[in-house]
Amino acid sequence: MRILKYCRLSFIILMLGCASARAGIESVSPQEASAMYAGQKAVIVDVREDSEWNAQHIPGAIHIPLGQLNDRLSEFKSYKDSPVITQCRSGGRSAKALDLLKSAGFSNVYNMDGGIIAWDKAGLKTE
């Protein structure tokens, strides 16, 4: 019985730790991302694979698959202090991209909640 209580307590502590780690991620809704982008106050970086990009993407977004992002950071030097919105299919890969960009010194990075799926559901333009 004592072991079961310990396991439950450990699980709760672990889950709270994961939630607080994710809470540190700055995120924006597709509507907020669209407004920031339309007002030329941000760039959108799509970190999906080529096939996903070719099927549908946000017009004007920069496409760099997540696996290539670290090697292509030099392409982003001019955006280091500008708002950068990372975007993928549903938000998982773009959260990883956000972490990578922040660790590379980018100071103003956001993850788009729900990715291209949420963007599409919101009725926002894609190509």
Catalytic residue set: 88
The type of residue at 57 is H
Structure tokens that stand for 55 in this block: 């099927």
**Which residue carries 């672990």 as its tokens?**
14
Q: What are the strands of the beta sheet with 27-28, ordered from one edge? A: 27-28, 109-112, 84-87, 43-46, 62-63
Distance CA 119, CA 116 (A): 5
